[in-house]
Structure 1
């Protein structure tokens, strides 16, 4: 049997937007993330793929979006990534963010304690389910480094992805995949909105390496659209390790994509038994191979294997001016 290193935590979360410009403005101007890459969906090059992250897109900090202009309304339900959380440095940061959300009229809940952490749930302009979680008492995977040109106060800025919450109809099947195949360990349980949530962690553990799972067999499966999550990705150290994962899943006869070249990282995709799409992605090579750090995200970047099609690709895309790079 293939010997594997433990997964290192969240790599990125990819979601759906119907409006790339509003999406860019919300995640850079309101949340203060940096657009580190403006590229296209490699499976459909007529669609933007935007990567928002810390200053250089360190693994574990990326929240990405595919623009699907005709995406319909999301009908929330089970078998979905139901909350994506973002890490902030300390409990006091949540008061800063609550005031900021009030200033910009962003829909949010009250600050509460969830799984022992101060948390502030909120929604973006399309109903994307998000939460800020405090890293004040965090021990585990380190966060990233916020961009110093962000409009958000650096002492309170987002430093990466926190726990992802999965709502599923069959929790035992997902638990088996997380523990027996992906190497997660059960950390504990808590209650949220009258339902038990099971916490799993991997690697160093902590905020950036947890998956929270809630069983909701009473809910129909989610019908995704704008404001929903497309997939969640988990960190693999390098290409050699990813190839081991591909062989391992093959040994287990688990249907998967096999090795996929994504240029900014290497990937592998499979679905857990409830149908949620999981990706395993390498930590590198990163986002600075085709544009310098200083101007990340300002121009349309294309992997080398798409460069010959640049004119045709650009002709299908609505212009999206991101040269401000997140400044006010």
Structure 2
């Protein structure tokens, strides 16, 4: 059934959701013991995000007759050791706070409500290389342009900064889950991979390739991939660009265009510019497969201000359809686009 979608409302919800998430992350950083008020769906979602910070949940519907290690009646609040009582019932917070203070001897200065107007403090603000397009290109050139880092720190991308480890099998599983279903059992595709880095996802793309072109702003990445795949018979071409333009591919056409774990670091203006160029490079019925920041800017992991909704709007503007969007983790989104 066809439904009308109000994208403005979707975006407003996305903004509020991100603010709520930032607020909860700030609580976690303070490492306070949190008692939640309300065992509704919202309360359970917030509890899952706060994790070990939650010492229990107080709820009006619980009368204390059934023993529970984590669920308390309002009369039992005084028995709980907490630093903050967070009201998760939305819309009547003032009424609830007055009741808690007046009837259950809760100290008002310990009560917090979800703050959808939360603005990060200076210490939470993201780096300029996330918000400024020119500085973003410089950062990506500097961070990923060192052979020593690729070999000794990042292990070809399987162990970023010595942590966040991946394996050949974990990348293969991701490819099988999020890429393979959209290729219709085709194994003769002409493929473009943007920003292959150390060639971690290139390994998966080669399974489906008749030919493959790699484009990266860093010569060292292309050099690493040349060495890594030098013994293969699949035709491979290597192109160095400026971090924005694909003019080096003029006249070429592809069945699959892919970018994995690189676009997450690219400024939204750069992402939009690439999608505009992809739309001219993709064959009719071809697939554009992009892994990007899905919930806005985030300093940890150097994620830029891109969302699933923004990708949808950019795709539509360039005559592309969004076939699917998958969040592969709590922040990063895979968008599958096609012509028509």
Length-normalised TM-score, structure 2: 0.21
Larger proportion of strand: 1
**TM-score by structure 1 length?**
0.22
Higher-Rg structure is: 2
Q: Which has the higher contact order (CA 8 A, sep 6+)?
A: 1
